[in-house]
Every structure is written in C-alpha cells, then in structure tokens.
Structure 1
Amino acid sequence: MTAVTTASVPVAESSSRVRPSEVLRIVRLHTVNPAIFFGVPWLILAGAWAVTMVIALIIAGAVGPLSETETGFEYSWAVLSPQWYLIVVGVQAISYTFPFALGFGATRRDYWLGTGLMFALVSVVNAAAIATLLLIERATNGWWIGAGMFDALWYVGADWGTAFFSTFALQLLVLFIGAGVTTVYMRWRMRGMMTVLFGAIALILAIIALLTFTESWESLGAWLASIGVAGVFTLVLAKAVAWAVAGFLVIRRATPR
C-alpha cells in the first residue's frame, strides 16, 4: 500500500510542472497544417491588396494620377482584413488539436502554454511583415500608383516599431478571443456560449449607458488621445493577456468533443 502511494507522487508532481519539451511539442502539433495560421490569412490580405490596387487604378483612370496627398485610402480598413479570420484561426487551433494533445499525454497546462507560444510566434511574424510592407508602401509612394492600403487608420505617421507593436497586440487579442470562446464551448457547450454572448452584450450596453448618462464620451476620447497609439494598444495587449488567463482557467476542466 505504501509502495503504491509513493509511486503515485512523482506522477502528480510531473503533471504540475511545466515541461518545455511538451510545450514545444504542442507548437509542432499546431504547425502540422501551417495554412491555418499563415496561408489563409495572407491569401485574404493579398486579395484585399489586389482589390485596393484595382480601385486605385480605376480612380486614376477616371480622374488622373493620384497625388501624394491623396487621403481617401487612409480610411481603408483593408489592412485589417485578416484580423477577423484570425478569430476563426483561434477556434480551429483549439478544436482541432486539443483532443490529440490530451491523447498523447500532454497536460492542459503544457497545451495552453504551447498554444500561447504558437499564437505569439504567429503574431510576431505577421506584425513584422505588415510593418515592413507599410514602409515599402511609403517608399514606393503607394506601390508607384499613389494607392494606400497599409498606411491607413492609426498606421498613418507611425514608425516601424509602433506598427509592429499595434499589429502584434491586435493579432494576439483576436487569436485568444477565438481560443477562449472555444474553451467555453468545450466546458459548458451551448449554454456557456449563450451566457458569454449575452453577458458581453449586457456589459457593452452598460458601458455605453454609463458613458452616455455621465457625458464622458469626450473625456474618454481625450484620454485615449493623450496616451497615444502605443498606450491604446498596450490596453489591447492587456486584454489579450486577460483572455489568455481566462482561457487557461476554463480549459483546465474542459472536455474535448
């Protein structure tokens, strides 16, 4: 009886420790189908770029060459086209790999750390690429035709570091939102999903009501302007960390489908 009890202790201890080899094994598991993380998002971005160029050529053909001061493209949301799909990527990353990871002996802790590391790597690569394309677009005066796709929204006037950080924070957030929502479904199924959905709607409406009745919209806008792009996306990064922590707490008791 004593031998059985003693032998069971190392198992419990090993499952409570982070195992770097298992974390990296989870990263390799996610890269089995790299198209999910790198293929489809960049196809979407390439398609948005092609549409933007065609629109620019049509405008140039109708009204003449686009000037360097053309500001219409600064309000294009095309640069964010892959972000919405990355929520789906976060969903697929968990739903496709979680059962397999548990099957070959990974702990939930190792699995979530490996998934988080994969999300961070994807966000770093994509952010570096988009920030570099922003500089290329500026250097070529809008791809030699005066068009703008990457130099839009808050990217206007931003340097490489700011563009990289803001893209990294945003991509990490949407990936963890997708992953977090999936853990909720695995843990509580549709009841949990509906609770999260209606809870989020109620929270958003409460915040809108609070800001409206206290006439705080102008103050909020002034505060966001005072902290700048870096400050705003630091808050975005904090939200990504909060989603990551919440997802881990839920997945500890989640059951794969």
Structure 2
Amino acid sequence: MNRIVKVSRLHLNKWDTFVLVPVIILGIVMVVSIIIALAIQRSMGLEPSSPEYIEGARWNQSIMWALPGFLVYYGVQAVATTYPFGLALGATRRDFILGTFLANALQSAYVAALMLVLLGLEIVTGHWFFGVYVLDVNLVGAGNPFVLGAAAFVGTLFCLTVGGVFGAVWVRFGPKGPAVMGLAIGLALALALLIIAPRLGEIFAAMTGGILALGAAVATAIALVGTWFAMRRASVR
C-alpha cells in the first residue's frame, strides 16, 4: 500500500498541471461563453430572463468539450512519462497501475469540486451577471449539483483512464501501438454503429444519465484492465 501511495504522490508532484490547467481551461470556457451569449442576446434581441433564451442557453455544451482533450493527454503522459520513475521507487507494475488510478481518482474529485464551486458562483451571480449558462445546463443536470458532481467525476476518471491505456500501449509496443489500437477501436465502433443504426432513435430515446454513467464506468474498468495487460511485460523506456 505504501508503494501505491508513493506512486500517487509522484503523479501529484505536477501541481501546475494538476491544479492550474483545469482552472485555466474552465476560465477560457467562461470567457468565450460570455462573449457568445452577449453576441446572441444583441443579435436576436433576447432578454436573458426570457424563457426562450433560457431554454436555448441551457443547451450550451461547451463544458462537455472543454476538458476531455487535456484529460486524455494527462492520462497518457501520467503512464508514459512517469512509469520509469515509479519503478525506480521500488513499485511493481501492479503498484504503479493502482497508484496511477488513485491519482486519477483524486484528479477527478478535484475537477468535480471545481465545477461544483463554479456552479455555485454561476447561480449566485445570476449566471455570471449576463445570463450566461455554462454549468447550469441540461447536459449536466440543469443546476443539480449531485448530477454535475457525479458526471464530472465519472467523466474525468473515464478520460484519464482511457488516456492511460493508450500510454500503456505506447510503453509496451512503441509508437505504432496506440495507432493500431485507435484504428481497431474506431473500426469496432463503426461496425457497432452500423449494426444498431436501424434502432438508433430508440436507443437514444431510452438513454438516461444513469445508463451513460454505467457505460462510462464499464469502459473505465475495461481500460484499467487493458492498462494492466499492456504493462505486464512493458520495459522501461
């Protein structure tokens, strides 16, 4: 257990990436969202308090696309660049994977807490004083902190773990490994989409937040197992 904690602490040494980058990304999203919201209000002559404006504004999906790219990258480098140092601390491959997962869980909790704080500020300030809906949106519970917190935690952990498995495949097989795996996953998803295409409307209609969370949790578990299999015989680069 001590070695697992040491690996987690090794990841958490990157305070600038761990703490500051999510804040910067969310800050940029806020600024861009405010600019877009003001442009919409002026061009369409809508009042921020009007039901029509609120209904449309609550479909803002910028928060969904803001962090995943960084989180997947962070997951990749957490495995690919820290692996030699983890083993140098005396950690086994199992310890390294579990320690990395623990660090990812802490990162996920931090991002979730950050979003909850921003949601509180958004509501208290009357949606950033300009009727801007960034976190109080339908995608993450329309102001429900429990839904937002759960979605942020599960989504962040999913992105980090998926990035981790790509990093593990790179460590094990070199640069071609992630490319081949990415192509294989893309092909599998395309075939799955082709199979379910006739019932796609029904599937989307039946989709709930709980089902999405369960799917993300299952995918996270699969990625974690994949990381373990890739790292079992990975050499130190």
What TM-score does the superposition give when structure 2 sets the normalisation length?
0.90
How far did 1:178 drift?
0.8
Q: Which residue of 2 aligns with 1:151?
A: 136
How far did 1:22 drift?
0.8
Aligned counterpart in structure 2 of residue 180 of structure 1, from 165, 180, 190: 165
Distance of 1:246 and 1:58 partners within structure 2: 46
Deviations 1:119-177 (A, max 9, x none): 00110121122133224323432122111111224224352111111111111010011
Aligned counterpart in structure 1 of residue 61 of structure 2, from 77, 82, 102: 77
Q: Which residue of 2 aligns with 1:49?
A: 30
- The one-letter code of the counterpart of 1:106 is A
Distance of 2:100 and 2:107 partners within structure 1: 11
Distance of 1:128 and 1:182 partners within structure 2: 26
- The one-letter code of the counterpart of 1:36 is T
Q: Which residue of 1 aligns with 2:233?
A: 253
SS of the residue aligned with 2:174? helix
- The one-letter code of the counterpart of 1:203 is A
116-125 or 152-161, larger mean C-alpha shift: 152-161
Q: Which residue of 2 aligns with 1:133?
A: 118
Distance of 1:172 and 1:165 partners within structure 2: 11
Distance of 1:220 and 1:40 partners within structure 2: 36
How far did 1:183 drift?
0.5
How far did 1:219 drift?
2.5
Q: Which residue of 1 aligns with 2:48?
A: 66
Aligned 8 A contact 1:169 1:234 in 2: no
State whether structure 2 residue 12 is matched by structure 1 residue 28. Answer: no
Distance of 2:228 and 2:196 partners within structure 1: 32
Root-mean-square deviation (CA, aligned residues, Å) is 1.9
Task: Give 4+ residue runs of structure 1 displaced > 3 Å after superposition.
Answer: 57-62
Aligned 8 A contact 1:49 1:149 in 2: yes
Q: Which residue of 2 aligns with 1:211?
A: 196
How far did 1:55 drift?
2.6
State how 1:150-169 maps to structure 2 within 5 Å.
Answer: 150-157=135-142, 159-169=144-154
Deviations 1:162-218 (A, max 9, x none): 111111111101001111001111111133223212211210111111012xx2112
SS of the residue aligned with 1:255? coil
- The one-letter code of the counterpart of 1:43 is I
Q: Which residue of 2 aligns with 1:222?
A: 205
Question: Which of 1 and 2 has greater Rg?
Answer: 1
Aligned counterpart in structure 2 of residue 194 of structure 1, from 164, 179, 183: 179
Distance of 2:121 and 2:31 partners within structure 1: 16
Distance of 1:164 and 1:68 partners within structure 2: 28
Structure 2 residue runs without a partner (length 5+):
none
SS of the residue aligned with 2:91? coil
How far did 1:46 drift?
0.6
- The one-letter code of the counterpart of 1:206 is L
Change (3 A) 1:26 1:68: farther
State whether structure 2 residue 219 is matched by structure 1 residue 239. Answer: yes
- The one-letter code of the counterpart of 2:117 is T
